[in-house]
Amino acid sequence: MSDRQKSSLNARAVGSAALRLLRRFVRHKAGMSAVEFSFLAAPFLALTIGTIETAFVFFAGQALETAATSAARMIMTGQAQTQGLTAAQFKQQVCNQLQALPNCSGNLYVDVETYSSFSSVNLGLPISNGNLNTSNLGFNPGTAGEVVMVRLYYPFPVYFNVVGLNNLSGGYNLLTATAVFQNEPFAPS
């Protein structure tokens, strides 16, 4: 037998053995569940984590909305004005209601502005180039009968951005809560 025939015979034997192993592997079902789970685990885990993070963002947004409503009520009824609250004191009053949000005093931004009418209220977000622009935020709770807008901003961190929750650079979602109202006729202090 020549070397060429031996090599051809060896190749057939190796090919036949490989084919038998492949057939046995395909027929063997014991590890099939583990293989199927490995294909589905990553997308399932990503969906689960994305759902949990979305729930946290909605919870934080609802907490901010509740705080904005309470803060607006303090101004609308004249409590903030008659007590002579400063911007820092008013912010602390809001943060006292936002215990669910981390580092409220450092991350919360409050904007209170008065307007001549409801139609002149500026509802644009102070975002420029993916950053929160705080230079135009003020604190003017107004007097009796004036139209006032109370707006709270909180950059909420988004750690696992599956569904595109971040609208600020650095992986943050700017939560905003707004209340626009007319001050009640209260007695000035």
Domain ranges of the chain: 1-27, 31-182
Spell out the alpha helix ranges (H) of the chain: 3-27, 32-76, 79-82, 87-97, 104-107
Phi, psi of 131 (to 5 degrees): -125, 150
The pLDDT value given to residue 7: 57
Q: How far is CA 50 from the centre of its chain?
A: 11
Kindly compute the dihedral angle of the four CA atoms of residues 45, 49, 54, 59, in this order, to the nearest 10 degrees: 140
pLDDT at res. 68: 96
Q: Please report the pLDDT score of residue 137 as a whole number.
A: 94
pLDDT (0 to 100) of residue 87? 96
pLDDT at position 142: 93
> Mind listing the pLDDT tens digit of every residue in the chain (189 residues)?
555 555 555 556 666 777 787 777 666 666 777 778 888 998 898 888 888 888 998 999 999 999 999 999 999 999 999 999 999 999 999 999 998 888 999 999 999 999 999 999 999 999 988 899 999 999 999 999 999 999 999 999 888 776 677 788 888 989 999 999 999 998 776
